[in-house]
Chain A
């Protein structure tokens, strides 16, 4: 198994008769990885398995080569932010982070320094002395995130970390994830907000009913969905003529003009052939092409194709 990745080797987890996840084989590389799926699809189960809070019924999990049932080793490299609010009573934001750094094994001075750094990163320095119970939903999300990153983990597991954040905090948090991912940290995020998953993720894992439906970079996943024609948006000065020429080809199943008359949304079963054809038509017709872009190489489209309307993701 790869020592630099998070590896699920044929992992299943059942809750009695109820299926949590089944026969999951995954290798999660560094970068930002999003877990996407409807409620009950197994996202949280997957996260709990990689943090050792649940044991697999079958199979093996390794986090950077470490068994999750060895908390002493695992949580030197991993940080976890649970989905639900989880705060011991009466602690201030600073005490919350400081005390858990002490449990982690940091000396008083180190814990103090790291607690302030984490609070600053989460934008909570001014609220550090206030009791966490009095924080707003967004502040509680941020203090949870701060405690997860305070010990400089190599693997960050975050269950719905964007819930409750205002747009500004959301943008800052996404920027933080991207920055950590680009530096080589494993950032595993679950989210229901698909357009933000697109912005965050280097790769996605789509889950449904406890099974991994797809995994990888979103473009790669989209190209594997052969039964759904690819959607390509072409903006040019002769969209109507272009539509007529494209329809001559069998692989083009639909061409729809946008209201302004310049945009043409084409659905094709062979995107590569369409791009080649477009090249030749540009020369032949003297087309002025403003833009050519895939219209469904995003998480939302892939989600709709693979999971459909059964989920509640937005």
Chain B
């Protein structure tokens, strides 16, 4: 047996806090995304609608401007729940396209290049890996949906007065909660599909399939079985149901929002919508658990 001097000492110094390490892959992914001119332009394009909404809010409080534009004050867009719901509906459509572009590239390259063990052979768990990758979408989509939405709410509150802001806190909470529900569903779906389908264009196409083909199947089920429960596989419908509840509670005034229209005679209970969305998250988590592993076991 060799005699070792044993003067080797591993690193004993300080490390950054464990909770913040998931931000490292986030930063690298953003650097990567930033190299795509198309994505940068697309992201900037998504801010056009919020800017227009801000202009509408400003015009709504500027009689002289309305007069100049020859728009009767009473006939101008009213800044209310439907205004914000429509805002979010439009932005969510753009968020969907953004997810279809960005999402498939988050996990599949790591799996295709066997790079997952590199993360997991660090003080870094599978959950942190998924949270890190998901954070890319959460940050990006938040910047497109609820962050500008809350800025618009603040702008409207500033112009209308504190009383309006106080009476309409539900709009602010619905903007945040509704967006987050949507963002989480999109992120989970994008990551799960990215983990299972290593070819990026196919993963992107599948995301469209999950939303639109499933919606078609749901409608077909409703037609054939003369039921409304087929909407349980229509993600747009489920999110629309949840949004309507979040924005309007039981005082429903509209058909939902752009992209998430709900037919008045085909409503499903809100609890069913929440449950179905929860199930989607559980299935996606299961799919990620199966694929995001340090070692892929091939039997």
- A→B interface (CB under 8 Å): 15-16, 18, 30-31, 48, 51-54, 71-80, 82, 84-90, 99-100, 102-107, 110, 147, 151-154, 180-185, 202, 217
Contact = CB atoms under 8 A, between A and B. Distances in A.
B118 A86 contact: yes
29 contacts: A18-B299, A30-B6, A31-B2, A31-B4, A48-B294, A48-B295, A52-B294, A53-B293, A71-B123, A71-B124, A72-B123, A72-B125, A75-B124, A76-B10, A76-B11, A86-B117, A88-B115, A99-B28, A100-B119, A103-B24, A104-B15, A104-B122, A105-B15, A106-B15, A107-B16, A151-B11, A183-B4, A183-B5, A183-B6
B18 to A, nearest CB: 6
Contacts of B68: none
Interface string B1-45: 110111111110111111001001100100010000000000000
Given A16-B299, A48-B295, A103-B21, A87 B113 contact: yes
Contacts of B224: none
Interface of B: 1-2, 4-11, 13-18, 21, 24-25, 28, 32, 109-110, 113-115, 117-125, 293-295, 297, 299
B226 to A, nearest CB: 45
- Chain B, interface SS category: loop
A154 B122 CA distance: 14
Given A54-B297, A183-B4, 6 more contacts: A51-B294, A103-B24, A103-B124, A153-B10, A184-B5, A202-B1
Nearest to B119: A103
Contacts of B24: 99, 102-103
A185 B5 CA distance: 10
Given A183-B5, A202-B2, A54 B16 contact: no
A15 B11 contact: no
A105 B294 contact: no
A15 B9 CA distance: 36
